């Protein structure tokens, strides 16, 4: 359950970051992510800010394998489970507001 909460939290943060335009604004959330990783609340966080043509900004921190202390890299995969339900619910709520 804790893993699912971490994944949903990361998904919400990613959605918020997609709306941000400035890299300097992104530094504060990264500080929060680093604190959460070092407190042991999540093993790693990775996200990309991209346009339809290229990656504009990327961030990764933490461990892909905590027991072996293997750092996360851009080839690390994550189990997303049903995170897309969160985005679907958000889209429906936005449409309902209109």
pLDDT tens-digit profile of 13-66? 666 666 554 455 556 788 888 888 888 888 888 888 888 888 888 889 999 888
Q: Given phi > 0 = left and psi -120 to 50 = alpha, else beta, which region is 5?
A: alpha
Segments making up each domain of the chain, as ranges? 2-97
Sequence-ordered list of residues with C-beta below 8 angstroms from that of 17, at least 6 positions apart, any chain:
26, 29, 47, 49
Beta strand 55-65 pairing with 44-50: antiparallel
Q: How does residue 77 score in pLDDT terms, banded at 50, 70 and 90?
A: confident
**How many Cα atoms are found within 13 Å in the side-chain-facing hemisphere of 30?**
13
């Amino acid at each position: 359950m804790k893993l699912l909460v971490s994944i949903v939290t990361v998904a919400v943060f990613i959605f918020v970051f997609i709306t941000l335009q400035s890299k300097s604004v992104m530094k504060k959330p990264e500080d929060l992510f680093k604190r959460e990783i070092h407190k042991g609340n999540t093993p790693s966080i990775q996200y990309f800010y991209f346009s339809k043509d290229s990656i504009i900004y990327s961030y990764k921190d933490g461990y892909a394998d905590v027991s072996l202390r293997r750092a996360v890299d851009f080839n690390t995969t994550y189990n997303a489970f049903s995170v897309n339900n969160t985005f679907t619910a958000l889209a429906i709520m936005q449409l309902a507001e209109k």
